Amino acid sequence: MMNNMTNQTNTLYPTSKTSISRMAPMAALVLALVVALGLVVSNLVGIASAQAAEVKVGSLMIKDAWARGTPRSGGAFMTIHNMGAADELIDARADLAKKVQLHRTVSEGGIMKMKHVSGIPVPAKGMATLKPGSYHVMMMGLNKPMKPGQSFPLTLVFKQAGEVTIQVGIMKMGATGGHKMDHKKMKKN
Ligand SMILES: [Cu+2]
């Protein structure tokens, strides 16, 4: 039995054993230090940008929330990552708009139409992508225009995770994505 287990381990990890033994010990040490330092740095960066770019609630993490700068009505977009069980975005609120709805843009006979949906599914161990031409949060009847470079608070209501308020960065009218935006430069309304 013991022999069997040893054999199994050897057959499972033959390549990693070989590559480590071939590496000079000093090079291996340097590599380990570089990897460790990288982890520390990426953690620090993660904490620093968490307030602006990422918001966690329950097992969900909301990232890269952005909206198109527009004077009257506009969509808000983001990615919602789910580390846990299935959830659903069921409502949204923003002081910026008179009415906020969950929408989905669908193509019907070659014509793009926005439909009011009761919820946006966030699959278990998966993600929901709110983007132009797909699911989005629709702000209807703005109390003041969305100005590029600014941000506004948006409260999201999830069936399982509950409520969370995020900051949505406002992009230029023709923008197609929020990823290039420097979140640190955004002003709060
Ligand atoms: Cu819409």
Distance from residue 177's CA to the centre of ligand 1 (Å): 16
How far apart (Å, rounded) are the C-alpha atoms in residues 39 and 59?
22
Distance from residue 135's CA to the centre of ligand 1 (Å): 8
Cα 98 to Cα 73, 116, 149, distances in angstroms: 10, 16, 22
Q: Strands (DSSP E) along 1-119, which ranges?
A: 54-57, 60-68, 74-82, 87-93, 97-108, 111-116
The predicted structure's pLDDT at residue 32:
62
Interval 170-185 mean pLDDT: 60
| Spatial contact of 87 and 127, defined as CB atoms under 8 Å apart | no
Distance from residue 43's CA to the centre of ligand 1 (Å): 36
How far apart (Å, rounded) are the C-alpha atoms in residues 128 and 84?
13
pLDDT at residue 23 tops 80: no
Q: Which of 35-39, 113-117, 128-132, 184-188 has the lowest mean pLDDT?
A: 184-188
pTM comes to 0.66
Distance from residue 142's CA to the centre of ligand 1 (Å): 13
| 148-159 residue pLDDT tens | 999 999 999 999
| 27-50 residue pLDDT tens | 665 656 555 555 444 444 433 333
